[in-house]
Amino acid sequence: MFGLMDVFLKNDSVSLQKDILDHVEYTVARSRFSFDDFEAYQALSHSIRDRLIERWHDTHLYVKKQDPKRVYFLSLEFLMGRSMTNSVINLGIRDQYADALNQLGFEFEVLAEQEGDAALGNGGLARLSACLMDSLATLDYPAWGYGLRYQYGLFRQIILDGFQLEQPDYWLNFGNPWEIERVHVSYSVKFYGTVEEEDLDGERTKVWIPGETVEAVAYDNPIPGYGTRSALNLRLWAAKPSDKYDMESYNTGDYINAIMNRQKAETISNVLYPDDRSYQGKELRLKQQYFFVSASLQDIIRRFKDNHQNFDELPDKVALQINDTHPALAIVELMRMLLDEEHLDWNRAFEITCKIFSFTTHTVEPGGLEKVPVDLLGHLLPRHLQIIYEINYKFMEELKKIIGQDYDRLSRMSIIEEGAVKNVRVANLSIVCSHTVNGVSKVHLQLLKERVFKDFCELWPQKFHYKTNGVTQRRWVVVSNPNLCSLISKWLGTESWIRNVDLLGGLRQYATDPDLQREWKMAKKVNKLRLAEYIETLSGVKVSLDAMFDVQVKRIHEYKRQLLNILGVIHRFDCIKNMSASDKGKVVPRVCIIGGKAAPGYDIAKKIIKLCHAVADKINNDADVGDLLKLVFIPDYNVSVAELVIPGSDLSQHISTAGHEASGTGSMKFLMNGCLLLATADGSTVEIMEEVGAENMFIFGAKLDEIPALREKGASLKAPLQFARVVRMVRDGYFGFEDYFKSLCDTLEEEKDFYLLGYDFTSYLEAQAAADRAFVDQEKWTQMSILSTAGAGKFSSDRTIEEYAKHTWGIEPCKCPF
């Protein structure tokens, strides 16, 4: 008889070597006596995947048997990055694999570099989804992620002559060993057509006769937890042509055209929209949204029906989390299924639905909320539009009873926006039909109350909460910063902080210890060296390791104010140029690093990228400046680039105009890695300040409550002379391209300076000067750096998930006992 332990895959070096070689021969189909790095990577990843699958099966069987309430995390975007290193670390078999590979003549790190990023998302929201999945798995929660398997992820950013060009990211070209294709897990998703009424047992029932049917096929991605055998599933849907309803077109004789039309179905999951703010009512985008929620809900309801018949039990077994409004059609789809397929009456269906959904918003701008033209929705999903109208009608009737005939307010709160083009307000739908609405930071909730969802917050104050975002310390320290990781474990005397990040606070007591300080600085140096080599390979710019590495990496947006950063760099350059030789000796050398993608249609953001390059060209080739100042743009910023850049930074900038960043999660990654923050009091930095103390950060800029008055003043707010001077340098063509930069400079004119760069410039320069002074005193700087890491505990996604689990989803851990 086998014991259970005997059937698990073995993790000793010899077994792993055999396993890898078997995959070389039988999976990759190369000779075990001759294979290159990429083939070794493929074989290695398949060997790791086998181990993932084992745990993933065990977790599923166990959870299925226990049948607890599960959370389903619906998101149109997941930025998973690479999987290999993260997987072996979470499985606890990194060293064993490194050993086995050494025996075979390969190096783990080298093979890890062969992997491309899974970039199925734009930015913050998408990376947050990935961090939350890691925490859900680590904390043994019964959870699933659902999303779309785009053929093309976020575009690759190429820089040509300083201009951004976009190239497709065909990430599946070389196969994806981390996913499992499930040809038998597929559902039909319907579009278009008409709604008819039918008699069913004497009752009138709506029947949707679709005009098009597309098949959704599941691709499963195991998500391993750290220090547990739990592995969750991230199920991504791909569109395939359906063969179920199409006999007609074949019989008409136009065989070739019939095939071509079927192929069109696949376009639904072809490409990720590269915009992370503005929403345009595009049919394909709406199709993507519905395609993904319909397949996910069919899957979820099928799973529920395996063990249950009574839909009143659904809220006890299912929590549906919608990540921003993008999956909001799930609400309407569930209503449709309960009404038209399960034949529940309206009130029962609606009550069940509202108990199941919770909604997190990542938006601060009322203008950034999703709207879908009624005509578009009605054409694509005729039955859903009827349901939306019905929900709205009932909501409006209820609302009138509460607030009376206040028509302005009624029209603001309506799910339907009236006007020349009628729209469905997706956020209003999400609020009305969710039991909880969460913001992503403390100030974000305040903004929701005062600005974004004011009317709703007044109506249902108990519905609105916030869960401060977090990031996973597994990816952002253990995987990306092994030096710091072992240092922390050594000084805390335990590795437990990897699962219980509050323990990082234990570093505080050693913040001034000279031994820790020395080791801390050394770890930073090693990471800076790695980053410096990367910069040199990419741009040919040699940078000094003694300089302060000052980094701003994130999507390019006017509100994030990369332009303020660049203007600050120009000012620094200008000062150095005008300095006496003796003053130059006092300058703290800086390497300013900027990276990030601009949405392809976002003209001003693209100009900011070009300006960065133009300024860099000038500065980096100026003999007077030398090593005192360098400016580098890191192209194609993504998760794996972040893993390299963040550990190697001394200072990082989070400088959005107050009131514009819902949270910001980059700041948390830098903080964990002991980088000091130069920041405005916006989004998550407000809470970071509470944890690490403002004295350990460089805070500047107008405060949230000052902004409206400042904007009111507009042109009468005189920008400081220093600001006018640097803007003039750009305008007058000091960096070339004056015609091209004209419209960018125009946004900085006093009456147009919406993001208040001029107003904040002086305090920005002061904060920068404070950072310089602190850097000179390396002992003090290192202490601040240690205290930053020590204060990062709150910003683990483990804490975020615990809060969601307890207060929003009502789920408990379900830990597989073996």
Is 94 labeled as catalytic in the residue annotation? no
Q: 190 - beta bridge partners?
A: 213
With respect to ligand 26Y, which residue has the nearer C-beta, 470 or 791? Answer: 470
- Comparison of 300 and 440: residue with beta carbon closer to ligand 26Y: 440
Question: Of the listed 362, 475, 607, 799, which one is catalytic?
Answer: 362
User: Residues 123, 327, 647, 791: which binds ligand 26Y (CB under 6 A)?
Assistant: 123
Active site residue 669: yes
Q: What are phi and psi of 207, to 5 degrees?
A: -125, 125
Look up 554 and say whether it is catalytic.
yes
Burial grade of 69 (CB within 10 A; 0-12, 13-18, 19 or more):
middle
Selecting among 51, 240, 444, 555, the annotated active-site residue is 555
Residues 660-679 that bind ligand 26Y (CB under 6 A): 661-665
The angle subtended at Cα 167 by Cα 165 and Cα 171, nearest 5°, is 150
Give how many residues touch ligand 26Y by CB under 6 A.
20
Q: Calculate the alpha carbon distances from 772 to 572, 575, 678, 766, 768 in Å.
A: 12, 14, 11, 10, 6
747 noted as active-site residue: no
**Residue in 114, 138, 469, 652 binding ligand 26Y, rule: CB under 6 A:** 469
Query: CB 658 → ligand 26Y: shortest distance, Å?
Result: 13
Q: Is 303 a catalytic residue?
A: no
DSSP E strand boundaries for 587-746: 590-595, 629-634, 651-654, 676-680, 698-700
Q: Which one of 470-478, 526-534, 616-624, 655-663 is the stretch in contact with ligand 26Y (CB under 6 A)?
A: 655-663
Cα 57 to Cα 31, 229, 231, 388, 552: the distances in Å are 31, 10, 8, 39, 41
**Residue of 55, 156, 669, 794 with catalytic role:** 669
Query: Which of 94, 117, 124, 268 is the binder for ligand 26Y (CB under 6 A)?
Result: 124
Q: How far apart are CA 42 and CA 174, in angstroms?
A: 10
Count how many residues are written for the chain.
Answer: 818
Q: Establish if 220 lies at the interface with ligand 26Y (CB under 6 A).
A: no
Instruction: Say whether residue 760 binds ligand 26Y (CB under 6 A).
Output: no
Q: What is the distance between the terminal CA atoms of the chain, rounded to a whole angstrom? A: 18
Q: Which residue's CB is nearer to ligand 26Y, number 87 or number 468? A: 468
Contacts 24+ apart (CB under 8 A), 408-415: 409/455, 412/455, 413/455, 413/456, 413/459, 415/388, 415/391
DSSP state of 532: H
The Cα–Cα gap between 422 and 329 comes to 18
Please, what sign has the CA dihedral across residues 193, 382, 324, 281? positive
DSSP letter string over 713-767? HGGGSPPPHHHHHHHHHHHTTTTS-HHHHHHHHHTTSTTT-TT-HHHHHHHHHHH
Is 122 a binding residue for ligand 26Y by CB under 6 A? The answer is yes
Q: Does the footprint of ligand 26Y cover residue 129 (CB under 6 A)?
A: no
Is the Cβ of residue 121 or residue 635 nearer to ligand 26Y in the bound state? 121
Nearest residue to ligand 26Y on Cβ basis: 124
558 is a contact residue toward ligand 26Y (CB under 6 A): no
Asked about 794 being catalytic, the answer comes back as no
The pattern of x and - marking residues 762 through 791 that bind ligand 26Y according to CB under 6 A reads ------------------------------
Of 190-198, 219-227, 529-537, 657-665, the window that binds ligand 26Y (rule: CB under 6 A) is 657-665
Q: Is 275 near ligand 26Y (CB under 6 A)?
A: yes
Looking at the Cβ atoms of 564 and 662, the one nearer to ligand 26Y is: 662
Instruction: Give 545-587 as a 3 state SS string.
Output: CCCEEEEEECCCCCCCCHHHHHHHHHHHHHHHHCCCHHHHCCC
Min dist CB 653 to ligand 26Y, Å, is: 15
Task: Give the nearest distance from C-beta 805 to ligand 26Y in angstroms.
Answer: 18
Residues that bind ligand 26Y (CB under 6 A): 122-125, 128, 275-277, 279, 326, 362, 370, 440, 469, 661-665, 683
Please give the positions annotated as active site: 362, 554-555, 560, 665, 669
